[in-house]
């Protein structure tokens, strides 16, 4: 294996995943992962650009940043690339009016979106919101559309909370895909558009950036396919 | 297309699907499909053997037969091949102790099954029972097992109730498969073992039998792969 200095040669920007890398979410706001508050602080004191690239879809960026700041992280909303705002952009560009199967915590990101007479379904990590009734409503709506559009904020299998592993949005995306015979459009990692928007936010080219995450598919695989380097941490879901 | 008499030559037994063929389930017990009560009566007056071959997994056979008898059908428990009793047999043979993610209506079929310290997950059409909490419990249990076993009673995408289309067990099976990286064992149509047990119950060979159902995959495809003839009705989910 090449030395670290060689593997990091030419790196100008760092994309940091949040859940499982900076902290494990959970009751009372979750807990920071050992060493991560100081690691972020050191990165920010360095010459490197830093952007937080997350598939968090239960919380708005504002809520997420507030939680992380309470845990001691130096982070602001503008430094966070998240799937909800990226989805709002897509809805606007394509004239889509969503039925939202999402967590209340992220609903404020969709405040200015027209939701009358829905012509698509947007799902995110809805947690307890993934009731049979809500899933069935999303299913019936998709079955009624001539051109069903299903947008999924990420496709993670699960994530780690302080209390244990929790089902993420991916399994529910698969359920609706199978039920309706459609393929979801994934907004978030590992989609190339999503990595590119995070790179743009730091003004760094793909070959000058490294992604640090705990998910071998969403973080590492996705970044590598975009020409970034990637590093998998041994915290979060890695350690399960 | 060959004449009916030719296509039915040598048929000695008829397998009848129930939901979408005999009746549409729903509030107040559901409603019979026009002509089906008389069709069953005529079949039973004929020389043909009849067996009901269903993936119904919300109700016990006793409950299902009671509903159908109230609607006017001539049917008894012994004439019904259903996935719950077939699953109990498998659990017993393999020493499996299930966590049951099922509807209360079918729970009595599992009355004599050891459920202590579960070493597998059994899912069926749980309806409202498919809460995030219950799905997450099934997921966590599978992730904790060294050799995760997931048994699914059918893999239907959806079925038709009088009030509209409803998600069946299949989408939830797919969700757990994706979350845990496992492949479910399907008990029920289209599994060959299941068709064979229905054929055995009427004492008829595959080439002497015809399956009548509304599901192109579970009923028609499954039966044909077993060497049966098959006929798709234009009621139930076909008509959606």
Using one digit for the tens of pLDDT, what is the confidence trace for B213-223?
A: 999 999 999 99
Cβ–Cβ below 8 Å for A136 and B240? no
**Predicted pLDDT of residue B240:** 59
ipTM score of the complex? Answer: 0.89
Q: Does B203 touch chain A (CB under 8 A)?
A: no
Q: Are A198 and A211 in contact (CB under 8 A)?
A: no
Cβ burial of B95 (10 Å; 0-12, 13-18, 19+) is: exposed
Mean pLDDT of A173-189: 97
Cβ–Cβ below 8 Å for A170 and B178? yes
Residues 6+ apart with CB under 8 A from A29: A67, A70, A71
pLDDT band at A6 (very low <50, low <70, confident <90, very high): confident
pLDDT digits (tens, 9 = 90+) for B113-168: 999 999 999 999 999 999 999 999 999 999 999 999 999 999 999 998 888 999 99
Q: Does B217 touch chain A (CB under 8 A)?
A: no
Task: Provide, for chain B, the percentages of residues in helix, strand and coil under a 3-state DSSP scheme, each rounded to the nearest 5.
Answer: 45, 20, 35
- What three-state secondary structure class fits B166? strand
Mark B77-87 as b/e (b = at least 16 C-beta within 10 Å): eebbbbbbbbb
Q: Are A151 and A90 in contact (CB under 8 A)?
A: yes
Closest CB from A132, A174, A176 relative to B130: A132
Q: Are B48 and B11 in contact (CB under 8 A)?
A: yes
Region for residue A48 given its phi and psi (left: phi exceeds 0; alpha: psi -120 to 50; beta: otherwise)? beta
**Predicted pLDDT of residue B6:** 84
Cβ–Cβ below 8 Å for B179 and A157? yes
Closest CB from B157, B166, B174 relative to A174: B174
Structure tokens, A182: 């459609």
Q: Does B129 touch chain A (CB under 8 A)?
A: yes
Cβ–Cβ below 8 Å for A132 and B131? yes
Mean pLDDT of B53-67: 95
Q: Does A174 touch chain B (CB under 8 A)?
A: yes
Closest CB from A127, A132, A140 relative to B127: A132
- Residue in B with minimal Cα distance to A158: B179
Closest CB from A167, A175, A180 relative to B139: A167
Cβ–Cβ below 8 Å for B132 and A131? yes
Q: What is the pTM (predicted TM-score) of this model?
A: 0.89
pLDDT digits (tens, 9 = 90+) for B6-59: 888 999 999 999 999 999 988 888 999 999 999 999 999 999 999 999 999 999
pLDDT band at A26 (very low <50, low <70, confident <90, very high): confident
Cβ–Cβ below 8 Å for A157 and B135? no
Dihedral over alpha carbons B161, B167, B169, B170 (to 10 degrees): 120
Closest CB from A127, A168, A179 relative to B171: A179
Closest CB from A140, A166, A171 relative to B178: A171
**Predicted pLDDT of residue B238:** 77
Chain centroid to CA B160: 14
DSSP label of B216: I
Cβ–Cβ below 8 Å for B178 and A164? no
**Predicted pLDDT of residue A220:** 96
Cβ–Cβ below 8 Å for A174 and B172? no
**Predicted pLDDT of residue A83:** 97
Q: Does A165 touch chain B (CB under 8 A)?
A: yes
Residues 6+ apart with CB under 8 A from B9: none
**Torsions phi, psi for A116 (to 5 deg):** -70, 145
pLDDT digits (tens, 9 = 90+) for A199-238: 999 999 999 999 999 999 999 999 999 999 999 999 988 7
Q: Does B127 touch chain A (CB under 8 A)?
A: yes
Q: Does A166 touch chain B (CB under 8 A)?
A: yes
Q: Does A240 touch chain B (CB under 8 A)?
A: yes
Q: Which residue has the tokens 């050992």?
A: A34
Q: Are A134 and A178 in contact (CB under 8 A)?
A: no
Q: Does A164 touch chain B (CB under 8 A)?
A: yes
């Amino acid at each position: 294996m090449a030395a670290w200095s060689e593997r990091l040669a030419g790196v100008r920007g760092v994309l940091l995943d949040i859940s499982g890398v900076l902290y494990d979410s959970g009751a009372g706001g979750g807990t920071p992962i050992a060493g991560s508050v100081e690691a972020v602080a050191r990165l920010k004191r360095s010459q490197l650009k830093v952007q937080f690239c997350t598939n968090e879809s239960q919380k708005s960026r504002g809520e997420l940043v507030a939680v992380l700041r309470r845990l001691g992280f130096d982070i602001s909303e503008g430094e966070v690339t998240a799937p909800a705002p990226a989805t709002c952009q897509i809805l606007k560009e394509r004239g889509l009016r969503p039925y939202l199967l999402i967590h209340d915590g992220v609903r404020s990101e969709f405040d200015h979106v027209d939701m009358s007479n829905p012509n698509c379904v947007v799902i995110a990590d809805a947690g307890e919101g993934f009731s049979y009734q809500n899933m069935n409503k999303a299913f019936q709506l998709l079955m009624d559309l001539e051109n069903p559009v299903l947008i999924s904020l990420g496709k993670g299998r699960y994530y780690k909370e302080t209390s244990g592993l929790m089902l993420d949005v991916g399994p529910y995306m698969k359920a609706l895909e199978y039920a309706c015979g459609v393929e979801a459009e994934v907004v978030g990692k590992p989609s190339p558009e999503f990595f590119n928007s995070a790179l743009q936010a730091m003004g760094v080219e793909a070959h000058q950036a490294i992604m640090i995450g705990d998910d071998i598919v969403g973080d590492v695989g996705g970044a590598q396919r975009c020409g970034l380097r990637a590093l998998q941490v041994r915290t979060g879901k890695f350690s399960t």
